[in-house]
Every structure is written in structure tokens, then in C-alpha cells.
Structure 1
């Protein structure tokens, strides 16, 4: 039996995202603080502290939303993509007001990508990469128009080209990871189907689809316990097919198998989700019927 622990997996993902936020956000803050000390941060201390207070407030808000999602046992942290967009927007805003270290600021984008490397799809990564690269180009355009005296225009665009090439390379890696994720997901699904098939073979009769004798007795024991506690009354029906041996002898075992399958199909139509049937051996069967009164069981069998 395969056992999955979704809460544990979510906790692991959350720890990875928290680490990426802490590492990337701290590096971003420290780098811009150094730029501020070197007088490369336009706007001064007032803009620096207000800007990073807003950025960190947003990070904390996203983390709180993810914690709420974890407590509700969501299958995936639902805020990963918005969080990456928010963090990338923060980079672009600070890239607009720093000089000399603009490329260093934008390189933190690769820490942002790490947050969703095992969760975001390739299409999401491509959209984020396009947003970052085009946003960086827009930032450079604004800086070149309004503050041309503080930038080396040619050098800045060369750096933009270098950054774009690095992002393209990262997206190729992301494409490989996405392919591997898809293949692993497909193999996991195939494995789950194989496990389910093996389980069915162990507990169900291959010909009729009814439970085998041993498993049926275990289920019957549990049903008797629940019935004894007053959950319901229990109807247990033992039956066999008349003249089945004669049918096998006269028409062959192939025809006998068809008779068993036809009987199983007809029986299954009249059973509810609470009922179950078992093949005890040969043409002998057992029906277990949780009912509200014996008359209900009698009507079901006679019908």
C-alpha cells in the first residue's frame, strides 16, 4: 500500500518558499542598502525605508495566506505564482531607483524562480520571465529618458542583453524540470494504477469482480461488529446457481464463465454502495446487505 502525507509535503514546500523569501529578500535589501550608503540609491533613506517596508509587508502577507492554505490542507500552496510576480515587481521598482548595481539587483530574480521550481508550470515560468525581461527593458528606457546623465546607456543595454540570455538559459533548465515533473507524474499515476490492480487481484475474483472468500469474511466480521453496535441490521445471503455443473458439462467451461459473469452483472445492478457480494467458490456466492429491517433484505433478494 502506498501512503501519501500531503500535509508533510506542503510543510516541506512551505519551508523551501520561506527560505527563498528570507534569502532572496535579505540579499535584495542588503544590496540596496549598500547602494544607499554609496549614494547609488536615488530618493535617499526615506524612499529606501518606505519601499522595503512595503515589500516586506507584502512578503509577510503572502506567507500568512500560504499558512492559511496549509492549515486547510490545500494540495498546493496557492500563492506561489502571485508571490513570484510580487517579488519580481519589487526588483523592477528598485532597479528603477538604483544606479551602478542595477544588474546585481536583477540577478536576484533567479532566487525568485527557485521558489516555484517544483510547482509552477513551464508556461507560468515563461510568462514570469517575459514580464521580468520586458519590465527590465522598460526600466532602462525610463532611466535613459529621465536620468541619462547617471547611466552608461550602452553598458546598461549590454547588461540587459546578458541578463536576458541568462534568463533564457534558466527557462531551458525549467523546461527540462517541467518535462521531468510531467514524466514523474505520469509514472506515479501508472504506479498507482498498477498498485490498485494488484490490490484488486488480491481481494477480488477476476471473473465476477466480487470479493474473494477471505477478504469477504474480513468485511463480514467488521459489518457484524457495526451491526452489533446498532448501526444497522444485517442481512447475509448464501446462494448457489442451480444446474451449474450440468451447464459446464454440456456446454463447456467457457459457457459456465459467461453464466457467472452474467449473474454478477445482474446482481451488481441491485446492490447499493453499502452492500457487497463475494464469490465463495465455484457457483457459490454470498451477499451482505446492511438494511433497516429484514423485509428490505427479503425484497431485494427476491427482486
Structure 2
């Protein structure tokens, strides 16, 4: 027996005053309505309705049961409405997870504009570097990876970017601008800490000839496992570093950093937004994801335009 359905049918019969009227209101056949009420009575072990050829009335047990049933059904309907609103309304808490570099350079700069558009959506951001983040615990988990990404998760690609070489105008004025990749061995380079001594080797590609990478054996003046530190040092004029285009885009647009050795790149990077499930994605998650994709691609396009104009000068 579907107990909840039987309770709803019983309530409607009591409201309508007849089985036939309840059947029409519920779009059921009268025999089905009669059977569901009978099943409920059998389950409860008591008669809820007094039936006669002229009228239908509630027993004392039926009156007491109907009072409780109405409250229960109202609570269920309200709970359904709350859950439904979480999926359809642009309101509520949006829980995000991101590694530090993406939290600082991708999520944080977007919060103010997103909140202007959707003031009823509140954001909770958890920042942590984890090899296997708890995707199921968050509405969106940002993942930064290279082009070999093949994880078994529900994920949407946010942006495909390139790692490029940048330096501050002050550094280039002081040390000069490298004209070819081999010139990097004479420059002060800042490198990301990598396993197996890869920090001292930059593999570079030219888009015009991507099948022939060039390995440059550099002598870094700074090696760090923290992108913020490398970027800060680069902005301060310490040297040349490799960084993702979408992260450095605002600095290129403002002229605080300059791309060097364009169109050479040092890698291809992807940013994905992982979701806990394909089903019942809240509307607030959808609008934030669309906003994230739109804004990051716009910033990336601006950075590419700036770096292209610089390389053409």
C-alpha cells in the first residue's frame, strides 16, 4: 500500500464528501479511490468513514485522523516546496571548493559582480589543495589540470588556457627582453616547484610548430610551490615566470606585466567545474557556472589580445 497516496485520497474524500467527487478531483476511478481508503482502514485497524446510500460521514477515529493527516500533508507539501525552490529559485547558499590559486585569481574577483546580479545567492568558499577533493560535498569544485585530464567525475570545462612567460616592465628595462627561448638561460627565472627536478627545465612550444617542443635548461633564482609567491615576485621585478593566461590576464590588461617570447607557450592548461551529480542541479549553481565560464573566457580573450598586440610591436 502507498500509505501517503492513501492518506491524500482519504483527505480528499473527506473534503469532497463522496468517493465519486474525490475520484473526479484526483483523476482516478471510483473503485481505485474506494480501495485505497479501504486499504488505509485495514492498515489502521479502524473505520474512518461511515458509508450509507445517502451520505458519507467521518467516524470519531476518522475526525481525529483527518486532523493529523492534514497537518502531515501540509508539512510534506511545504518541505517539497522548499526543496523545489532550492532547484529553481535564484537564492540560497552556493558552496564552492577551489585550490588557492583558483580561489584567489578566478573566484574572488568575480564575487562582487555576481552578487550585484544575484543578491539573494550567498557564497561559501572553501580553499584547500587536495589531490582528491570531496566533490560530493560542494555545489561546484574547481579543478586545475593539464590537457590529459580524464577523471571519472561529472565536470564541465570552464576554460582552456595556455601557460605563458611574463615579466614586469621594470625587469625588462633592467635586464632586457629575451628574443628567443635560448636567451632564457641568461635571465633570472622564477619556477614552480615540480617533481623529478622538472623545475629547472621549461618545455616550450610554438603554436606554428606544436609537434617540436624545445627544452630550455634554466637556473631559477626562485623555486616555489606557491603561485601567489611567484606572481608577487614577478610583479616586483624579480624575473621571468611561467603562469596561466587566465590567472595573469588582469595584470597584462593593466600593463603591470608583459608577455615575453610570444607566441611561445610553456603548457596547455584546463579548468573544470566538477559537480556532485548530473541530476537536480540547483538554478543558483547553473547561473554561477554560466557566469564563471563567461567571465573567465572574456578575461582570457582580453589577455590574448593584449599579448598579441605586444608581440606585434
- TM-score with structure 2 length normalisation? 0.22
Query: Who wins on radius of gyration, i.e. which is larger?
Result: 1
Structure with the larger helix share:
1
Q: Larger relative CO (CA 8 A, sep 6+): 1 or 2?
A: 2
